[in-house]
Amino acid sequence: MENNETEALQEPVVLLENVVISHDEEPLLKDVNLRLGTGEFVYLIGKSGAGKTSLLRSLYGDQPIAEGRAVVCGIDVARLKRRQVPALRRQIGIVFQNFRLLDDRNVYANLEFVLRATGWKKRQEIDDQVKKTLAAVGIANKADAMPRHLSEGEQQRVGIARALINNPKLILADEPTGNLDPVTSAEIMQLLVDVGRETGATMLISSHDFMMIDRFPARVAVCENGTLVDPEAQ
């Protein structure tokens, strides 16, 4: 079988069909259609308040889906049950604009916490996974550092390491360069591109940084006028 035929038979990592996302019973986005295959790198853009963050939150089960079909990493998130949330989150890595690191523990312990919370128990396996992931994001020498002693770029690398730690199928990044200077932003975007290529994870990156999008071009989907416009899916 040819490679393209094999890919056509693969289930998409994200499949949204005629989805409606609401807040307080008011629709934020409607008629949302999106299909992301394995290893795709896609930007999600749009004005502030256009619904980008709500769309990302709906994919990891933190924002209810009011209508439509929504399957993420093989799980029906439109009918997501509370007991299914941990299984969904284990397959998704999330990168936040403001890092959201645990300030009371060092970098190593931040990543160890995620592994233990998702069922890892063996000390040697945890140690190997933490060290491997820190090396992958270029901060192997920062394991003992407290987050407050890191630069913002280093903190975001820890955030990316945390997203990678469970070898996820899908990485969602919400404005990952929003708090960074242009040089550091370029370093972080290059890291995300490299991570996608090396791991095969599907990447959906919310961004308003058009300089970075121009520098690292990829498919672009747009939140506007209360819906999602994906020109390449037309």
The torsion region of residue 185 among left (phi > 0), alpha (psi -120 to 50) and beta comes to alpha
pLDDT of residue 234: 53
pLDDT of residue 49: 84
User: β-strands 14-23, 227-229: how paired?
Assistant: unpaired
Phi first, then psi, for residue 16 (nearest 5°) are: -115, 130
Per-residue pLDDT at 169 exceeds 80: yes
Reported as a single tens digit per residue, the pLDDT across 177-188 is 988 999 999 999
CB of 165 closer than 8 Å to CB of 114: yes
The whole-number average pLDDT for the span 93-105 is: 92
User: β-strands 92-95, 170-174: how paired?
Assistant: parallel
Segments making up each domain of the chain, as ranges: 38-63+79-233
Q: How far is CA 59 from CA 7, 36, 75, 105, 147, in A?
A: 22, 12, 10, 29, 28
CB of 114 closer than 8 Å to CB of 166: yes
Provide the pLDDT confidence category of residue 4 given band limits of 50, 70 and 90: very low
Cα separation, 86 vs 104, in Å, equals 24
Reported as a single tens digit per residue, the pLDDT across 47-96 is 888 899 999 999 999 998 999 999 999 999 999 888 888 889 889 999 99
The least confident of 9-13, 110-114, 192-196 is: 9-13
Output the six-digit token pair for 46.
Answer: 């749009």
* DSSP SS3 for 55: helix
Per-residue pLDDT at 137 exceeds 70: yes
The whole-number average pLDDT for the span 217-233 is: 88
CB of 36 closer than 8 Å to CB of 228: no
Output the six-digit token pair for 42.
Answer: 């896609």
Percent pLDDT > 90 in the chain is: 76
pLDDT of residue 233: 60
Output the six-digit token pair for 15.
Answer: 């499949």
Q: Which CATH architecture has domain 38-63+79-233?
A: 3-Layer(aba) Sandwich (3.40)
For the chain, what is the mean pLDDT? 91
199 exposed, middle or buried (CB, 10 Å; 0-12, 13-18, 19+)? Answer: middle
CB of 215 closer than 8 Å to CB of 182: no
Cα separation, 33 vs 35, in Å, equals 7
The whole-number average pLDDT for the span 94-107 is: 92
Per-residue pLDDT at 9 exceeds 90: no
Reported as a single tens digit per residue, the pLDDT across 106-121 is 999 999 999 998 889 9
By C-alpha distance, which of 169, 35, 180 is closest to 99?
180
